[in-house]
Chains A and B, each alone.
Chain A
Amino acid sequence: MIRFVSIRLLRALITVLAVMTFAFVVLRMSGDPAEVLLGPDVPQSVIDAFRAEWGLDAPLWQQYLSYLGAIFTGDFGVSMRDRSPALELVLERVPATLMLTIPALLLKLGIGIPAGVYAALHRDSAVDRGVILLAILGFTIPSFVLGLVLVLIFAVTLGVLPSGGMGTWQHAILPAITISIGGIGILARFSRSAMIEVLGQPYIRTASAKGVSWRDVVRGHALPNAAVPIVTIVGFMVGSLIAGAVVVETIFSWPGIGRLLIVSVSNRDLAVVQCILLLIAAVMVVSNLIVDLLYGWLDPRLRAQPAH
């Protein structure tokens, strides 16, 4: 078990390092922050001074090494815009994003899984077909379209909910729903197919043949087996708690990580973008790690063969 976890942890670290490196290189190759921040008509001497100040005149490998070294001492750099620490800027936006993504995650789980399971149990019925149709609709409709449609209906036409900004809890309703719809569709489809697969297994027939009531067959025998594939998808969803709201935050002018990311990218605010990407990668990697551990807990057959 310890071996299993430590191998996974090592892999997680390598993944994060790869993301950091990739982001570092791509950001520096895709545009010069000096030009973006200072504007087009600035004399070359000012640009050179700016570059020297931020260490952008050093060779890429030197910049990279000093960046890495700083990270390991907990220094994530400062924003080029207002010189406040990047980590602080990022962390103060996290609660706002979670205020949308956590309710959205709960909606995905609370609606998607039961809908999928119910559809599987009533396969080929009208309800089943309805669930499939809605699920496909749910995950094919782009969030910027859905968000605007919801604003049009509930804010503009009915006037019952605010169209954007952050204030009361009502402000969070439309963006949270917009984020959740796609995930509900995906989870419903996944839970349905996982359940259908499990219900066709011989051990389900065995349980029925020994007199277990259908309700208990579903709860005690089918669901624990169907949980394994469902957990994989839920893991991805937990992993995108930080990064999953970029578009929606922009539509609803929600001051979360997503908005900060967009602003920082367009300003070439290197330290902030790197810090956000690092946070996103870390959350994704940690949730994958948890999923791996859950697999072993859910399916004893996977415990025997660690680290694949």
Chain B
Amino acid sequence: MTNLVEIRDLRVAFDGVPVLHGIDLDVARGEALGLVGESGCGKSVTWLAALGLLPGKASVSGRVTLEQTDLSGAPRDRLERVRGGRIAMIFQDPSSALNPVLKVGRQLVEALRLHRGLTGAAAKAEALRLMDLVGIPDARGRFTLYPHEFSGGQCQRIMIAMALAGEPDLLIADEPTTALDATIQAQILDLLARLRREMNMAMVFISHDLGAVAQVCERVCVMYAGRIVEEGTVSTLFDRPRHPYTRGLFDALPRLHGPRGALTPIPGTVPDPRNLPAGCAFAPRCNRAQGFCQRNRPDLLRQRDGRALACAYPLPEDDAAPDATAPRMTAHQEGCPT
């Protein structure tokens, strides 16, 4: 399978403070990749940097290629053709991600004009079809409404419709359900999964909701403090996480079945990017860390089972399962007793 997007050694610093320390990431055509990690670990920054969407004070280095197109340091017009055309992006808070003073119809038509050259009645017809596709009832009647006249979930549907307008090869969904109610989250996840299948579109799903990632993704990257610490298929990582941080993420989730037990939070907090530990960034919070970890940073290495892992003392290969048979409650299954 050829890679649609290849990111090599992507580094980002804000005002001289590095927040992304060399990310290597591939996205294959049509695949769904999850990007998981705590807030501030660099999940979103990776893709904002790849598309040149970071503010001017950010310094970015590394290579990002979209098939034959080099995006790193590309001229503005080349990036503008890619954005929304080949790579579209949707964001966390849909209500503030739409322009409040422009009618949603106009915002949709703008994307259609830019990437498909549609104007006038043709653009409107296509916009209505997209609104219909993402499940906006009475699209014709709501075409001329403003974003504040839609609910959060519907705004996210409009955002998705807008992202689909350019018929992209890759959709970056940056925490698309975080700001939504639990029931709406599930609907949006279903919608994204369905659209991806129907349009044969690759998707990068950025989230800290492991359940959502399991539902829509095939492969997962776990990020910590600006680095990828573990990467593999959903089944490999979710059944047998080997990085203590990945394992910690699972232990912090409540169980859906089985005996009630206390949740195990990961001790400590995410390190300040201005003041990272000398060795492994996770070592101060890790219960498996040894003296080696304080001084040395493990490389991300490919393992026998296909996963990539950056840990000197990972959980053993066989019994790392965090009670994998027991389904765990995730944010969109709220309402169940814990």
Residues of A within 8 A of B (CB): 201-203, 205-214, 220-221, 224-225, 298-301, 304
On chain B, the residues within 8 Å of A206 by CB distance are 91, 97-99, 159, 162
B148 and A300 contacting across the interface, CB-CB below 8 Å: yes
What is the CA–CA distance of A225 and B99 in the complex, to the nearest angstrom?
8
A210 and B110 contacting across the interface, CB-CB below 8 Å: yes
Q: Give 4 closest A-B pairs by Cβ, nearest first.
A: A211-B84, A210-B84, A211-B83, A203-B99
On chain B, the residues within 8 Å of A207 by CB distance are 99
A interface, over-half SS: helix
What is the CA–CA distance of A300 and B84 in the complex, to the nearest angstrom?
26
A211 and B80 contacting across the interface, CB-CB below 8 Å: yes
On chain B, the residues within 8 Å of A212 by CB distance are 80, 84, 110, 114
Task: Kindly state whether residue B166 has any CB partner on chain A within 8 Å.
Answer: yes
- Nearest-neighbor residue (CB-CB) of B99 within chain A: A203
Task: Kindly state whether residue B88 has any CB partner on chain A within 8 Å.
Answer: yes
What is the CA–CA distance of A306 and B153 in the complex, to the nearest angstrom?
27
B102 and A224 contacting across the interface, CB-CB below 8 Å: yes
Task: Kindly state whether residue B101 has any CB partner on chain A within 8 Å.
Answer: yes
- Nearest-neighbor residue (CB-CB) of A201 within chain B: B96
* Listed residue (A298, A299, A300) with the most chain B CB atoms within 10 angstroms of its CB: A300
CB distance from B189 to the nearest CB of A (A): 20
What is the CA–CA distance of A224 and B100 in the complex, to the nearest angstrom?
10
B89 and A225 contacting across the interface, CB-CB below 8 Å: no
Interface residue tally of chain B, by bracket?
Answer: 20 to 34
On chain B, the residues within 8 Å of A300 by CB distance are 100-101, 146, 148
B111 and A202 contacting across the interface, CB-CB below 8 Å: no
B93 and A202 contacting across the interface, CB-CB below 8 Å: yes
CB distance from B137 to the nearest CB of A (A): 21
Q: State whether A205 and B91 are in contact (beta carbons under 8 Å apart), knowing that A210-B84, A213-B80 are contacts in the complex.
A: yes
User: Which of B48, B76, B101, B163 meets A210, CB within 8 Å?
Assistant: B163
User: Which of B53, B102, B110 meets A208, CB within 8 Å?
Assistant: B53
CB distance from A207 to the nearest CB of B (A): 7
- Nearest-neighbor residue (CB-CB) of B57 within chain A: A124
Within 8 A of A (CB), among B36-93: 48, 51, 53, 76-77, 80-85, 88-89, 91, 93
What is the CA–CA distance of A208 and B81 in the complex, to the nearest angstrom?
11
* Listed residue (A201, A209, A301) with the most chain B CB atoms within 10 angstroms of its CB: A209
On chain B, the residues within 8 Å of A304 by CB distance are 148
Can you list 18 A-B pairs with a CB-CB distance of less than 8 A? A202-B91, A202-B97, A203-B98, A203-B99, A205-B91, A206-B98, A206-B159, A210-B110, A211-B81, A211-B82, A211-B85, A211-B115, A212-B80, A213-B76, A224-B101, A225-B99, A300-B100, A300-B101
A-B contact sample (4 more), CB < 8 A, given A210-B83, A213-B80: A206-B159, A210-B110, A210-B111, A224-B101
On chain A, the residues within 8 Å of B88 by CB distance are 209-210
B100 and A299 contacting across the interface, CB-CB below 8 Å: yes
* Listed residue (A210, A213, A221, A298) with the most chain B CB atoms within 10 angstroms of its CB: A210
What is the CA–CA distance of A206 and B108 in the complex, to the nearest angstrom?
12
On chain A, the residues within 8 Å of B83 by CB distance are 208-211
Q: State whether A209 and B89 are in contact (beta carbons under 8 Å apart), knowing that A214-B76, A301-B148 are contacts in the complex.
A: yes
On chain B, the residues within 8 Å of A208 by CB distance are 53, 83
What is the CA–CA distance of A266 and B53 in the complex, to the nearest angstrom?
63
What is the CA–CA distance of A271 and B159 in the complex, to the nearest angstrom?
62
- Nearest-neighbor residue (CB-CB) of A205 within chain B: B53
User: Which of B98, B101, B148, B166 meets A211, CB within 8 Å?
Assistant: B166
What is the CA–CA distance of A250 and B166 in the complex, to the nearest angstrom?
63
- Nearest-neighbor residue (CB-CB) of B79 within chain A: A211
